């Protein structure tokens, strides 16, 4: 096989493998490594078999094409159709926390189960999953809601 044909083949195969890695396979794995090795091999063969100028041209072209792939691909409609761009936010009705849990701060209740450190308490006839601020709280002990972060309710033992 002529040297120029092998360089072009390695170049095209390397670029295709990197394209597959970027578009189809998430992360940087087998195809990306093989593509990188292929592009480096094409540059090495061009430097050693042809001339330093051809090696520099192949190396520069490889770098520009890979840089262009990473820089220009996200701006294409193809990329917009293939990637997941949907986000969940409050405007769309997505809620992380159950509404009204903040009203529990400062209220007292009794442990329905043992808290080690998580368990269930009863406040105003409703059960809530909580985490104790202390290490261990027995069943039927009075506790107070200290903090609410999202759906995480932190309680402490009432002395």
What's the confidence (pLDDT) of residue 1? 61
3-class SS at 126?
A: strand
Provide the whole-model pTM: 0.48
- The whole-angstrom separation of Cα 106 and Cα 156 is 10
Name the residue among 43, 52, 32, 57 with its Cα closest to residue 10: 43
What's the confidence (pLDDT) of residue 28? 66
137 DSSP 8-state letter: B
- Class of 101-157 per CATH? mainly beta
**pLDDT less than 50: residues of the chain:** none
Instruction: Write the secondary structure of 29-69 as one string of H (helix), E (strand) and C (coil).
Output: CHHHHHHHHHHHHHHHHHHHHHCHHHHHHHHHHHHHHHHHH
What's the confidence (pLDDT) of residue 153? 93
What's the confidence (pLDDT) of residue 24? 77
What is the average pLDDT score of the chain?
A: 84
The DSSP bridge pattern shows strands 142-149 and 126-132 to be unpaired
Domain residue limits, the chain: 3-82, 101-157
What's the confidence (pLDDT) of residue 123? 93
Name the residue among 117, 122, 148 with its Cα closest to residue 132: 117
């Amino acid at each position: 096989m002529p040297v120029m044909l092998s360089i072009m083949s390695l170049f095209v195969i390397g670029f295709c493998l990197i394209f597959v890695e970027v578009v189809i396979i998430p992360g940087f794995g087998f195809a990306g490594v093989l593509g990188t090795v292929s592009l480096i091999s094409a540059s090495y063969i061009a430097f050693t078999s042809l001339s330093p100028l051809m090696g520099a041209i192949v190396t520069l072209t490889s770098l520009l094409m890979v840089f262009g792939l990473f820089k220009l691909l996200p701006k294409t409609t193809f990329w917009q159709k293939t990637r997941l761009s949907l986000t969940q936010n409050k405007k769309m009705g997505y809620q992380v926390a159950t509404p009204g849990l903040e009203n529990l701060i400062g209220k007292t209740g009794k442990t329905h189960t043992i808290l080690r450190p998580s368990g269930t308490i009863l406040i105003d006839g409703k059960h809530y999953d909580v985490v104790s601020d202390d290490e261990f709280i027995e069943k039927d002990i009075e506790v107070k809601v200290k903090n609410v972060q999202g759906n995480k309710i932190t309680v402490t033992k009432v002395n």
